[in-house]
Amino acid sequence: MIPARRPPLGPQLESLLLEAGGRLRASRAAAALTGAGLSVESGIPPFRADVGLWDRYDPLEYGTLEAFERDPARVWMMLRELSVALRGARPNSGHEALAQLESVGILSCVVTQNIDGLHQEAGSRRVVELHGSWRTMTCTRCRRSIGSSKVPLTDLPPRCACSGVLKPDVTLFGEIIPAHVIDAAWQAVRSCDCLLVVGTSAEVSPASSLPQAARDAGACVIEINIDCTALDDAVVDLRLQGPAGVILPRLVEAVGAPREN
């Protein structure tokens, strides 16, 4: 069979890819920090898009714990729209490439800000979900946990059998991230020698501090994004500019054959 031809990425990007591939191949333990941009090609809009969901619902207004406690039905209007995108989404070639890097022993962990569960669906096994997960919800009254796919979103807010309001297990702005999750994220970036920073604007704390922490611990930081971000050249060693679903599979190719353990 003749392999499908992929469009060339330009000599500069091709050479950066080779360099990044070499760094990954030589690394002892690489990690990835991912954000909403990675799931854009799965049909989930990022927060900082000019159009779509976040045009109508400012996440800083609708996505806070305080707003949820004050008026859960109002916040659930936004969450219901988000759930439509999340429920239909499938992992893209970027998620699959990261899972592949884990399966060949190069990537030791993915720290994600995403709540969509697409890393696990793609086959990644060591995933730290910094902002929780959409896949389950918890009753704010009796603390019962329930699979999100079982919760009808016809009447808002959705309620538990005890009539308490259900809240998805995602971290809203103003909500505290559990200590064991933060610890796992710091441990992952401090112990890696190469960090891929994929599809994140690096504007939401604490994720925004993780690339610097990796760099301070001596890691090579490789950024993959379609755009410029808040991370400056003092933090990032290599920038691969382009969609994650295109760049990451090419990066896997550039890494070459799996290492022998």
* 119 catalytically annotated: no
Point out the catalytic residue in the list 95, 119, 131, 180: 131
218: left (phi > 0), else alpha (psi -120 to 50), else beta?
Answer: left
Distance between CA atoms of residues 199 and 197, nearest Å: 7
> Of ligand NAD, Zn ion, none, which one sits near residue 50, judging by CB under 5 to 8 A according to partner kind?
none
Cα end-to-end distance, the chain, whole Å: 32
**Nearest approach, Cβ of 138 to Zn ion (angstroms)?**
9
The site map against Zn ion for 113-142 (x = CB under 5 A) is --------------------------x-xx
Gyration radius of the chain over CA positions:
19
Q: Which tokens hold the place of 194?
A: 């190469």
Distance between CA atoms of residues 29 and 15, nearest Å: 23
| Of residues 29-88, those binding ligand NAD (CB under 6 A) | 35-37, 39-41, 44, 46-48
Q: Which residue lies nearer to ligand NAD by CB, 72 or 243?
A: 243
Distance between CA atoms of residues 39 and 114, nearest Å: 8
User: Site residues (CB under 5 A) for Zn ion?
Assistant: 139, 141-142, 144, 160, 162, 164
User: Site residues (CB under 6 A) for ligand NAD?
Assistant: 35-37, 39-41, 44, 46-48, 113-116, 131, 199-201, 203-204, 225-227, 229, 243-244
